[in-house]
Amino acid sequence: MACMTTWTIKPEPVIGPAVDEVMRQYFMEMGRRVLGRTATDEELQAVLARDPHQDLSPPSGEFLVARSQEGEFLGCAGLRLFGSTPKTAELKRMYVRPAGRGAGLGRGLLLAVEEAARRLGAARIVCETNTQLTEARSLYTRHGYAEITPYEGHGKADHWFTKALGRG
């Protein structure tokens, strides 16, 4: 568990109405920023059907939630293991709600996901993002991620990254 002065980050179940609502907010923001418009309900359902988040759960995944000291949901990030060699974890659904932005929470979530990936035995971590998400691309490169070609059949993003996970 990572703990900062204004939030805590710990694993929580990836199912339930609270997570579903945050995932809806995440996809709505991604639609606005990447598509330049609000995503429709049909588009949101299609994305979740193609790439559900239920696999961000033990034993081969984890869903981390950042909460304020008052318990407010500030952000989240998930990971899941691939069956590839070396053992690879994929960062998924990293999102910081507006109330949690500007205080280093993205960095905190990224470090917590890397720690969780190491606990699950991953030797490297991969992620994908879009050109419009400049904050994400900057965060990844600042923390040692290198841009790579698309991995494991992913092709909807514009940028793919990897990082070797040492012992932390």
Q: pTM for the full model?
A: 0.85
Quick one: which of 145, 141, 143 has its CA closest to 162? Answer: 145
Q: Residues 107-164: pLDDT tens digits?
A: 999 999 999 999 999 999 999 998 888 899 999 999 999 999 888 766 578 899 999 9
Instruction: Residue 98: give its domain's CATH number.
Output: 3.40.630.30
Count how many domains the chain has. Answer: 1
State whether the Cα torsion 35-97-93-23 is positive or negative: negative
Q: Which domain holds residue 103?
A: 2-164
